[in-house]
Amino acid sequence: MFSIRHPVRTWFGAGTVEKIRDEAEFAGAKRALLFTDKGVRGAGIADKAIDPLKRAGVDVTIYDECVPEPAIGDLESAWEQFRGGNFDFIVGIGGGSSMDLAKSMSILFTNTGEPRDYLGAELVPKPSLPCALIPTTSGTGAEATPNAIFSIPEKGVKMAIVSTRIIPGAAIVDPELTLTAPLKVTAAAGVDAFTHCLETYVARNATPLSEHYSVRGMELIAGSLRRVCEDGSDIEARTQMALGSYYGGVALAGAGAGAVHALAYPLGSRFHIPHGVSNSLMFSHVMKMNFSANPEKFAHIARILGEDTGGLSGEEAAERSVGAVERLCKDCGVPTQLSEVEVPAHVIPELAEAAFTTQQRLLGFNPRELSQEDIEKIYRAAA
Ligand SMILES: NC(=O)c1ccc[n+]([C@@H]2O[C@H](COP(=O)([O-])OP(=O)(O)OC[C@H]3O[C@@H](n4cnc5c(N)ncnc54)[C@H](O)[C@@H]3O)[C@@H](O)[C@H]2O)c1
Ligand SMILES: [Fe+2]
């Protein structure tokens, strides 16, 4: 028995950002609240959604104060500002940071609790306001996932609102919107997308439905991530990345992430490292610990990444996936060792404790059971 979840409608392709107008009409929207950030707005991208809404006669209130890697306090202050507002449509246009703020706001307007009440799994009682999410990075897949992720500074970890009710009614994936994403953002987000596809593929709760998205997502990203890092104007490669990233999001809505994400969160929260970079720091080191738990799947991953596994034993073929992932991250210029981002070795026991005590949900999906000692070993290998 298994299930998967999707946005009610997904638009994909060049120019689909205009479909925000159809979605507003479908929702009967009169007063929209739109979330974005200054980088996305400054690049002229937010206007691509704002203009069609205005032409449709929708009143648009713009919040462009979203910040990268938001803390729960950022959601709380946006909620304080708008809680009395009479909005009927929520839009998020930006990377995962803006989309996570938007989708979280969409449930706050219809439920009676405060933001922190919904951190955890399936704690949201009522459906959200109609919501449309428009990614401008190919990375998080947040336009399709049931998750919104926030740093909890006092605990030094990241936690998520995980709820079927925050999957948006509409995901609008327009690859042209990613053309202006800077190289560093493109590379780190791309590694995040690949992590989603890979971790869901080997997850203990993977299903035939989620695997379909995981595998196709890995194929698309393996064939395009190096290309977008070499030439950000390569629209064909940008298009493959956007689809692969969306597939990673759907895969997350059908299976769990795993230890890469679990170990990346304490790093991201304590050292303000972008999410894709903190995944890259953990990625190959976690895989080294994991590959023997499912040699068949890890060998398949190696082949997707272009490794020739002919004549190798199952274990040998599986191990090839570790180096292949490390090379992918390195070729895109994303760090793979903690020393590259100046995380000191003496914090490792604290990181291991934080990952082990606060990330059991994700650790439960990992193909291999990991003790706190195993986790500490992985951080040390990454030092
Ligand atoms: N909800 C989920 O399922 C999910 C999954 C993975 C990660 N996340 C979260 O998403 C966040 C990271 O999101 P992200 O990697 O997409 O980056 P981001 O939203 O933090 O954006 C990074 C930077 O890139 C800029 N930018 C984005 N798109 C641009 C464009 N097209 N042109 C010019 N500048 C652009 C932004 O202005 C920002 O400065 C983290 O908080 C992470 O925890 C959420
Ligand atoms: Fe992620």
> Which residue is closest in CA terms to ligand 1's atom 33?
181
Domain boundary residue, one of 148, 178, 208: 178
Domain contains 207:
yes
Residue 178 and residue 232 in contact, taking contact as beta carbons nearer than 8 Å: no
Pocket of ligand 1 (CB under 6 A): 37, 39-40, 43, 45, 68-70, 94-98, 100, 136-137, 139-142, 145, 147-149, 177-178, 180-181, 185, 189, 192, 275-276
Query: Is the pLDDT confidence value at 156 over 90?
Result: no
In this structure, the answer to whether residues 155 and 196 fall within a common structural domain is: no
pLDDT at residue 100, as a whole number: 98
Q: What percent of the chain has pLDDT over 90?
A: 99
- Cα–Cα dist 57/51, whole Å: 10
Q: What is the pLDDT of residue 191?
A: 98
The answer as to whether 3 is a domain residue is no
**Same domain, residue pair 188 and 152:** no
Same domain for 362 and 235? yes
- Average pLDDT over the chain reads 98
Say how many Å lie between the CA of residue 99 and the centre of ligand 1: 8
Residues 289 and 355 in one domain: yes
Task: Write down the pLDDT at residue 364.
Answer: 98
Q: Are residues 274 and 137 both part of a single domain? A: no
Residue 218 lies in a domain: yes
Tell me the C-alpha distance between 275 and 290, whole Å.
21
Q: In the predicted model, what is the mean pLDDT of residues 209-229?
A: 98
Confidence of residue 377 (pLDDT cuts 50, 70, 90): very high
Atom 19 (ligand 1): residue with closest C-alpha?
Answer: 95
Token digits for 200? 């869901």
From 38, 41, 69, 97, mutation site for ligand 1 pocket: most ligand atoms within 8 A of C-beta: 97
Non-local (6+) Cβ contacts of 375 within 8 A are 259, 263, 352, 355, 356
Pairing of strands 31-35, 89-94: parallel
Q: How far is residue 381 CA from its own chain's centroid? A: 25
* 216 and 198 Cβ atoms separated by less than 8 Å: no
State the pLDDT confidence band at 93, using cuts at 50, 70 and 90.
very high
Asked if residue 1 is part of any domain, the answer here is: no
Same domain? 172 vs 188: no
Atom nearest to 98 CA in ligand 1: 19
Name the domain boundary from 150, 178, 206. Answer: 178
Residue 61 has pLDDT above 90, yes or no: yes
Do 161 and 310 lie in one domain? The reply is no
Which residue's CA is the nearest one to ligand 1's atom 16? 95
Provide the residue range defining the domain that includes 202.
183-382
91 burial (CB, 10 Å; 0-12 / 13-18 / 19+) is: buried
**Alpha carbon of 227 to those of 117, 125, 168: distances in Å?**
42, 43, 30
Any domain includes 314: yes
Q: Residue 85: pLDDT above 90?
A: yes
- Residue where a domain stops, chosen among 178, 208, 238: 178
Does residue 338 sit in the same domain as residue 206? yes
- Rounded distance, CA 236 to CA 252, Å? 25
Verify that 211 and 274 share a domain, yes or no. Answer: yes
Atom 40 in ligand 1: residue holding the nearest Cα: 69
Q: Residue 14: left if φ>0, alpha if ψ -120 to 50, beta else—which one?
A: beta
Distance 268 CA to ligand 1 centre (A): 13
Report yes or no on 4 lying in a domain: no
CB atoms closer than 10 angstroms to residue 55 = 10
Ligand with an atom nearest the CA of residue 64: 1
Q: What is the pLDDT of residue 211?
A: 98
The enclosing domain of 328 has a CATH number of 1.20.1090.10
Residues 359 and 274 in one domain: yes
For the chain, what is the domain count? 2
What angle do helix axes 235-252 and 208-222 make, rounded to 10 degrees? 160
Look up the pTM and report it. 0.98
**pLDDT at residue 226 greater than cutoff 90:** yes
Q: Out of 149, 191, 246, 359, give the residue to mutate to test ligand 1, the one with the largest number of ligand atoms within 8 Å of its CB.
A: 149
pLDDT, tens only, 16-56: 999 999 999 999 999 999 999 999 999 999 999 999 999 99
CA of 57 to the centre of ligand 2 (A): 36
pLDDT tens for 238-272 read 999 999 999 999 999 999 999 999 999 999 999 99
CA of 186 to the centre of ligand 1 (A): 9
Co-location of 229 and 114 in the same domain: no
Residue whose CA is at the smallest distance from ligand 1 atom 39: 39
Q: Which-ligand-closest: CA of 69? A: 1
C-alpha 193 to ligand 2 mean position (Å): 7
pLDDT > 70 fraction of the chain, expressed in percent and rounded? 100
Give domain status of residue 211, yes or no: yes
- Ligand 1 closest atom vs CA 158: 43
204 shares its domain with 158: no
